């Protein structure tokens, strides 16, 4: 299987001043700011907090920031913004959580084939096939496409952090659950999970060509 590594929070982030936490593995994680708390470092991003062991962070790099000066629309023109498409929602969710859009699109393609109303036999819902309990933990209504993809992208980010950027393990955990990955210390020997990981990475590779 071809190895991939997801680098969190690079050019796909909003234009806000911030920093990058450089992990000991070499991966860079974007944050608006950080706080030290004993052996932990809290990274603040998009209103959320991620805790990382201090010994996993090698350094911090300041993000370059160039403020933009948008030209306001004439006050007499009232433009109605078009509703974003499903693909635009997915891309926006990926950028919000510092993930490559092609990676999140590959997961959606494997999970639901872009069907907003998809429901699996096990009860997983929507574009990113969120289980109701997972969606509730993330504060999302999985039946609303925008909330579904935002929660799914956030969950993927959490899994990539948990497995230190190891993409195959994060995908296996998304499919079979972190407990199975931890129990087998890697991708579990489930035919469905192994096929799922291969399918997502193959799609991701094709989208990046």
Residues designated as active site: 111
> In whole angstroms, what is the distance from residue 109 CA to residue 106 CA?
5
Three-class SS state of 182: helix
Number of Cβ within a 10 Å radius of residue 143 = 15
Among 89, 106, 86, CA closest to 97: 89
C-alpha to C-alpha distances, 27 to 10, 43, 85, 140, nearest whole angstrom: 10, 15, 31, 28
Number of Cβ within a 10 Å radius of residue 140 = 22
Q: Which residues of 89-119 are buried (b: 16+ CB within 10 A; e: fewer)?
A: bbbbbbbbbbbbbebbbbbbbbbbeeeeeee
Among 66, 46, 133, 149, CA closest to 101: 149
First to last CA, the chain: 17
């Amino acid at each position: 299987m071809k190895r991939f590594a997801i680098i969190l929070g690079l050019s796909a982030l909003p234009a806000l001043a911030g920093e990058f936490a450089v992990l000991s593995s070499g991966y860079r994680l974007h944050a608006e700011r950080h706080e030290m708390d004993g052996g932990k470092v809290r990274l603040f991003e998009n209103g959320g907090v991620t805790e990382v062991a201090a010994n996993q962070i090698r350094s911090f790099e300041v993000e370059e920031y160039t403020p933009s000066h948008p030209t306001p629309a004439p006050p007499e023109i009232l433009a109605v913004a078009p509703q974003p498409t499903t693909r635009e929602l997915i891309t926006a969710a990926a950028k919000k959580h510092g993930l490559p859009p092609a990676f999140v699109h590959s997961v959606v393609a494997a999970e639901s084939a872009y069907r907003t109303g998809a429901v699996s036999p096990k009860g997983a819902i929507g574009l990113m096939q969120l289980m109701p309990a997972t969606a509730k933990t993330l504060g999302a209504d999985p039946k609303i496409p925008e909330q579904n993809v935002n929660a799914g992208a956030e969950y993927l980010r959490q899994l990539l952090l948990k497995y230190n950027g190891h993409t195959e393990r994060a995908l296996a955990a998304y499919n079979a659950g972190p407990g199975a990955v931890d129990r087998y210390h890697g991708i579990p020997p489930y035919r469905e999970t192994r096929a799922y990981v291969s399918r997502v990475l193959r799609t991701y590779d094709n989208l990046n060509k």
